Copies of this chain bind each other. A is one copy, B any other.
């Protein structure tokens, strides 16, 4: 099945890309990264690195105007990034409004334009508490919408929607992914800050996924 993979460059989406390429049911024809005015470019570079590694064409869609229009802690230099865990209210301000619907709609447009049959994104259960657009109810509704939006039904694939980040990292380590070449930090530094919500989740997942035998 010709598939467009939405890849941000973090653990979840990079693992999904490797996972889909390894699964022969899928023919990943394009990895799409949305540039919505992130404060750092490391994430986009990481996405491109893994697409190149796997021989998957990589396309960046420029959503700078979108980021500028709606604003958020992720794109607005004046807003401090809160430290802590995703499951706390304080992290809500890191949410780009309606991000996954915009990303999925855009990737589906690329799918329709290129004759692909599916769009994949890396929603997972660790994000259910804080991001409504990572939950099964959202996936189900978007799946239905994508079946009727165009003459060509587009399938929505969310392979990790009932899986946590540690399980994702287990799959990735099994696939031999070098996670040092992924990027998840909300800060714009040269190395992962180790303190922001996404860094804390990243460390926990990689620690938890270590092979024990």
Contact = CB atoms under 8 A, between A and B. Distances in A.
Interface string A62-87: 11111001111000000000000000
Given A61-B69, A145-B138, A98 B108 contact: yes
Interface string A92-123: 10001111111011101110110000000000
Contacts of A98: 105-106, 108-109, 112, 149-150
A143 B113 CA distance: 25
A210 B105 CA distance: 39
Contact of A65 (B61, B72, B133): B61
A113 B141 contact: no
A145 B145 contact: yes
A23 to B, nearest CB: 25
A105 B72 CA distance: 16
Q: Is the interface of A mostly helix, strand, loop or mixed?
A: helix
A104 B147 CA distance: 16
Interface string A44-70: 000000000000000101111110011
A31 to B, nearest CB: 14
A130 to B, nearest CB: 10
A70 B110 contact: yes
A170 interface: no
A146 to B, nearest CB: 8
Contacts of A19: none
Given A137-B148, A144-B141, A105 B101 contact: yes
6 contacts: A66-B106, A69-B110, A96-B109, A97-B109, A97-B112, A141-B141
